[in-house]
Chains A and B, each alone.
Chain A
């Protein structure tokens, strides 16, 4: 069983702020991004970075969630600004 760490509002709030900032940046990117490529590379980089101190996660969740926010913003941009 993989240990995902303790997930509560106290530990995930920082990552959610990151998701918001990533979404802000993502709606400005015009090209089509290959989502699976970026997710795999992002998980690898997050695993190499490690989590922030005081947050006992196996990998950096704020990095992954910022990437998810950016990709989501890119999809929104593609759908609505056609």
Chain B
């Protein structure tokens, strides 16, 4: 009776690399803007993650999809700090400061991403611990059986 548990919806996860290869080809052949390409990749990553969280019927796969969603957010933040022809925001002793200040990439989004990665790691630990307990108790990882949905 339940629609979305019968069909194998994992096929959309196979579509993701194909879209990614298409974007790389667009960058290489058509000279697409790098920032726009990263934004689109981040959007697709977030949508794939959202799809996995909603429709895939396995707790471990849901957790993997949630980290894909987080990676999409991280990629968006990184792409905001992009600057054409920029350099790494680390000043070496030989550099002149005014030249460095005009050319360096913005450091704030990178710091935010570092924060986000740590939070994701701690979230992952809690989710894995709970999934271990789920598996010990129910002998399965299917969300439909854990929630007693027939």
Contact = CB atoms under 8 A, between A and B. Distances in A.
Contacts of B92: 53
A30 to B, nearest CB: 27
B97 to A, nearest CB: 14
A53 B92 CA distance: 7
B118 to A, nearest CB: 20
Nearest to A54: B93
B87 to A, nearest CB: 15
Contacts, number: 3
Interface in A24-62: 53-54
A47 B75 CA distance: 35
A32 B93 CA distance: 42
Contacts of B93: 53-54
Contacts of A53: 92-93
Nearest to B94: A53
A72 B88 CA distance: 38
Nearest to A56: B93
A38 to B, nearest CB: 30
Interface in B42-93: 92-93
B79 to A, nearest CB: 28
B90 to A, nearest CB: 8
A53 B94 CA distance: 10
A54 B93 CA distance: 6
B52 to A, nearest CB: 39
Contacts of A54: 93
3 contacts: A53-B92, A53-B93, A54-B93
Interface of A: 53-54
Q: Which 3 A-B pairs have the closest CB atoms?
A: A54-B93, A53-B92, A53-B93
Interface of B: 92-93
